[in-house]
Amino acid sequence: MTFDNIMADLRAGKYRPVYFLMGEEPFFIDGITDFLAGHILSESEKAFNQLILYGRDTDIGNIISSARKFPMMASRQVIIIKEAQNLKNLEGLEHYLATPMNSTILAFAYKYKKIDKRTKLAKLLAEKCVLLDSDKIREDKMPDWISNHVTMQGYQIERKAAALLVDFLGNDLGRITNEIGKLILVLPAGSKQISAGLIEKNIGISKDFNNFELNRALVSRDIVKANRIISYFNNNPKNNPLVVTISSLFFYFSKILLYHGLQDKSKENVVRELGINPYFVAEYQQASRTFTLAKTRQVIAWLRQYDLMSKGASAASDGELLKELIYRILH
């Protein structure tokens, strides 16, 4: 099941005896366990019927024993196993899954890894309980995720503003949702839209000097703008580390290279193959005209070279390396 499916059922009061939440993205796992801990039982019921255990401090036998107990003065009990990835002999859960207690909600937060789906336990989990496979969201999918997340809260966000958050915070959902929450609090009275200007004013991300705008300046061969951006980066190295800029450029030019290799360059196929929002198709079309296939390959080779140089293979400063790299890309 997906995070949205699970949360919709929980909000509707549709509970299952066992939840097994695993994967690399902790945001979704935490969202479900936080809801289970905060919304199933009343405050008076929690004292006797809610139990939080940690994988490193307990074992399967103790968990099953607790889950088999009947709730006290309540219709159900909630048991949450945090850091479940540290549990040993997880296979012992198989016996409980055969006949789980309907009056117990048992949730495992198995973070940063997954169990082997070929095992008997994995097959039982998929069959007998709510199983969440919590994967990281790719950065190219993040602007859409941010837009949907903001919309669900009754607000809107500019496309550029969403791109700025991704450029600055990557796909760290926890940090992104935290910043979005702050932005909503400082929206002007009557406003429902998060703008790039609001982000610049309240988070410190420049709406004009960032990796997103650097990419666009390179594509349009705007030498003046590109140099203004890298000068800003050089003067603000803490918020604009060279390693992040090179990573952003590598990601961007890899997409341009992929675009060059497409036989079918229809909008629909570009969106599917590059994994981008339709909004950005025209930009990649322009990029392919600005940077030929040969030039794109050369840029990617330079990016690898300067990445090594930035990690100690050169005595030049990060600012000097970036200035030299951008000059090569533009000329």
pLDDT along the chain (331 residues), means of 10: 92 96 95 96 94 95 95 95 94 92 96 90 91 89 90 91 85 91 92 91 81 91 93 87 91 94 93 84 93 96 94 86 95 90
Do 77 and 71 contact (CB within 8 A), yes or no?
A: yes
- One-letter identity of residue 60: I
Q: Give the residue extent of every domain in the chain.
A: 3-133, 139-203, 211-330
Q: Calculate the CA dihedral of residues 308, 313, 316, 320 and round it to 10 degrees.
A: -10
| β-pairing verdict for 18-23 and 156-157 | unpaired
Which helix (H) or strand (E) covers residue 20, if one does? strand 18-23
Which helix (H) or strand (E) covers residue 106, if one does? strand 104-111
Q: What is the pLDDT of residue 329?
A: 96
- One-letter identity of residue 190: G
The dihedral of CA 133, 134, 137, 141: what is its sign?
Answer: positive
Tokens of 2: 């997906």
Q: Report d(CA 146, CA 159) in Å as an integer.
A: 10
Tokens of 94: 């198989």
Tokens of 89: 């002999």
CATH of domain 139-203: 1.10.8.60
Q: What is the pLDDT of residue 208?
A: 81
| CA angle 319–325–330, rounded 5-degree value | 125
Instruction: Classify residue 265 by its DSSP letter.
Output: -
Q: What is the pLDDT of residue 239?
A: 81
Q: What is the pLDDT of residue 250?
A: 94
Give the length of the chain. 331
Q: What is the pLDDT of residue 240?
A: 86
CATH of domain 211-330: 1.20.272.10
Q: Report d(CA 203, CA 180) in Å as an integer.
A: 10
Phi then psi for residue 134, to 5 deg, are -90, 95
Do 107 and 51 contact (CB within 8 A), yes or no?
A: no
Fold match, 139-203 / 211-330: no
Q: Report d(CA 116, CA 263) in Å as an integer.
A: 38
Residue ranges in the chain assigned as alpha helix (H): 3-11, 26-39, 43-49, 60-67, 94-98, 120-128, 142-152, 159-169, 173-185, 196-203, 211-219, 223-235, 242-260, 267-274, 281-290, 293-308, 318-330
Residue ranges in 189-241 assigned as alpha helix (H): 196-203, 211-219, 223-235
Q: What is the pLDDT of residue 40?
A: 95
Q: What is the pLDDT of residue 260?
A: 96
CATH of domain 3-133: 3.40.50.300
Cα→Cα distances 71→47, 68, 78, 251, Å: 11, 9, 9, 53
Do 105 and 40 contact (CB within 8 A), yes or no?
A: yes
Q: Report d(CA 122, CA 128) in Å as an integer.
A: 10
Question: 3-class DSSP state for residue 131?
Answer: strand
Query: Of 241, 211, 242, which Cα lies nearest the Cα of 309?
Result: 242
Tokens of 169: 């915070």
Do 48 and 78 contact (CB within 8 A), yes or no?
A: no
Q: What is the pLDDT of residue 53?
A: 96
